[in-house]
Structure 1
Amino acid sequence: MTDYRTLNRANWDERAPAHAASSGYGVAAFADDPAHLSAVVRFDLSLLGDIRGLRGVHLQCHIGTDTVSLARLGATMTGVDFSPASLAEARRISALAGTPVEYVESDVYSAADKLDRGGYDLVFTGIGALCWLPDIRRWARVVADLLRPGGRLFIREGHPMLWAMADEPRPDGLLALEFPYFEQKEPTVWTEGGTYVETDAVFTHNTTHEWNHGLGEIVTALIDAGMTVTGLVEHDTAPWDALPGQTHRVDNGEWQLRDRPNRLPHTYTLQAVRNPV
């Protein structure tokens, strides 16, 4: 059986150049405006607070637009990703933006072995990252291993309830749960030719393996890894069109369920700190 990392890495390697060229990532704005930040980082500025002088690591950084944004807010950032094509784009964008970021090629589960274990004030993870990992408890241990005592995890993610939704609208307009909410041993296997940005690119590596993780599983994994959860906010918007045909863009630039959006948590922001040793 092909290792899930091999399949998923091929998918991301092929899509990274298309993502960097798309209007959705707005790469040109980083060169044109030295104060420009990614939409994901802008959304959470009030919760993120002052990160000037912090040493941070961004796990699963992809092409690095969020990583550059955090560096522009004053943190010394290292981006980590397992896709060499994504990191090539990330380094190019960092140079284009004039914002230094160090990038390291690594699988998430190996990150603490390749970086400065226990040497970071901040671990950041952005939208659409955790679904690529089969074991959330192992992820939580890596986060704790990277942080110094008192260091902080900051993550905004797609809500596991959203990931469990059927993505095709029903004729009666009802929302339907189709995919696992809780972590399963076996992955959900997807074969899809497109990607989440508008592009004319044609892809050949289209099969991925993904896992959902319940919110309780994520919180419990962090607690068991020696961390204290300090904040959990659920949001009724997402920064991408998660349910095409059922969502619309709202005033903050994000997407929201068109019909009674208070039925569905779209995303969440979670913060936790590593406990003293």
Structure 2
Amino acid sequence: MTLDTTPDRDPAPAPEEDDDLALRRPAAAGESSRASRQWWDRNADEYQEEHGAFLGDDRFTWCPEGLDEAEAQLLGPTAGLRGRTVLEIGAGAAQCSRWLAARGARPVALDISFRQLQHSRRIDEQRGTARVPVVQADAAVLPFADGAFDLACSAYGAVPFSADTAELMREVHRVLRPGGRWVFSVTHPIRWAFSDEPGPEGLTAVGSYFDRTPYVEQGADGRASYVEHHRTLGDRVRELVGAGFTLLDLVEPEWPDRLAQTWGGWSPLRGRHLPGTAIFVARRA
């Protein structure tokens, strides 16, 4: 597998946000992909500065609740990772891939954002460690051969931003070898019925859980600058089964007493009442 992996130029400048309007409206695959790439290129620096300490340089954490793969072992026993090829989808700065590499796995970190992958290079250079192989691509069109990987994972990456997650699941199935695990975390679908606020207002349902209309932020010209897609728990199960996976587990991490910080709409208050994350553990037939 030959990878053109080195971000060595600046991406084309993305349009600036200017009091974007937030609304619910349809958003097709091309618009969603373009908005995600531009949004993450524009916001990668701020995201890594704000959340980098929590994520760590080589920590594999599944969610704002702080569930680590070292503890959960959702990809299988840690000792069994050595020598396994792993595709991290929506990798950001490849923190999870770096953790996997330190345990003898052979990860490839994929992200749609050029700037996020440049942060992966920055971390590698600062640490003086071997570069994590990175690839810029859309998760719904994976640039890899059939059966190229033993495992695939995604910690809040790509899945919520893809307009056609049924196709994304089929693509992951295609690049996995038989028996390979596919584990991904997303915002718990029930959260879509509630205000995305960390305080008491975030405990009141304001919409329908069954409304799958995408959340879109757009400028005055109507161009989307940010798009996120909602699927119910049942939708996710059907997508996985339809792609040829067997669902092994659905993990809903509880908010730990030790965690006092707030991350966007995640907070100790909401975490005591509502699940914030859903982690799907599936196996390729």
Q: TM-score range by the shorter chain?
A: 0.7 to 0.9
1:47 corresponds to which residue? 72
The answer to whether the 8 A contact 2:90-2:157 is kept is: no
- Match of 1:101, SS state, is coil
1:257 corresponds to which residue? 270
CA RMSD of aligned residues (A): 3.1
Q: Tell me if 1:118 matches 2:147.
A: yes
Query: Which residue of 261, 271, 277 corresponds with 1:267?
Result: 277
Percent identity over the alignment is 26
Query: Which residue of 213, 222, 228 corresponds with 1:210?
Result: 228
Report the Cα distance in structure 2 between the residues aligned to 1:264 and 1:7, rounded to whole angstroms.
29
Q: Which amino acid aligns with 1:189?
A: V
- Match of 2:135, SS state, is strand
The answer to whether the 8 A contact 1:164-1:181 is kept is: yes
1:131 corresponds to which residue? 160
C-alpha distance 257-224 of structure 1, shift in aligned 2 (>3 A)? same
Deviation per CA, 1:48-81, whole angstroms, max 9, x where unpaired? 2222221000111122222212222221010111
- Match of 1:104, SS state, is strand
Report the Cα distance in structure 1 between the residues aligned to 2:103 and 2:114, rounded to whole angstroms.
26
Report the Cα distance in structure 2 between the residues aligned to 1:29 and 1:60, rounded to whole angstroms.
16
Report the Cα distance in structure 2 between the residues aligned to 1:269 and 1:183, rounded to whole angstroms.
21
Query: Which residue of 219, 237, 240 corresponds with 2:255?
Result: 237
2:136 corresponds to which residue? 105
- Match of 1:26, SS state, is helix
- Match of 1:91, SS state, is helix
Query: Which residue of 93, 105, 108 corresponds with 1:78?
Result: 108
C-alpha distance 116-206 of structure 1, shift in aligned 2 (>3 A)? same
Deviation of residue 242 (structure 1)?
A: 4.0
Q: Tell me if 1:66 matches 2:66.
A: no
1:15 corresponds to which residue? 43
The answer to whether the 8 A contact 2:31-2:224 is kept is: no
The answer to whether the 8 A contact 2:160-2:229 is kept is: yes
The answer to whether the 8 A contact 2:199-2:270 is kept is: no
Deviation of residue 99 (structure 1)?
A: 4.0
Q: Which amino acid aligns with 1:73?
A: R
- Match of 1:108, SS state, is coil
Query: Which residue of 228, 235, 238 corresponds with 1:220?
Result: 238
Q: Any gaps of 5 or more consecutive residues in structure 1?
A: 31-35, 193-204, 249-255
The answer to whether the 8 A contact 2:241-2:247 is kept is: yes
1:167 corresponds to which residue? 196
- Match of 1:268, SS state, is strand
Q: Tell me if 1:140 matches 2:162.
A: no
The answer to whether the 8 A contact 1:189-1:208 is kept is: yes
Report the Cα distance in structure 1 between the residues aligned to 2:264 and 2:139, rounded to whole angstroms.
25
Q: Tell me if 1:56 matches 2:86.
A: yes
Q: Between Structure 1 and Structure 2, how many residues are aligned?
A: 241
C-alpha distance 96-188 of structure 1, shift in aligned 2 (>3 A)? same
The answer to whether the 8 A contact 2:192-2:207 is kept is: yes
C-alpha distance 242-170 of structure 1, shift in aligned 2 (>3 A)? closer
Deviation per CA, 1:223-256, whole angstroms, max 9, x where unpaired? 1111111121112239962437xx33xxxxxxx5
Q: Which has the higher contact order (CA 8 A, sep 6+)?
A: 2
Query: Which residue of 210, 217, 238 corresponds with 1:190?
Result: 217
Deviation of residue 29 (structure 1)?
A: 5.8
- Match of 2:174, SS state, is helix
- Match of 2:141, SS state, is helix
2:6 corresponds to which residue? none
The answer to whether the 8 A contact 2:198-2:264 is kept is: no
Q: Which amino acid aligns with 2:217?
A: W
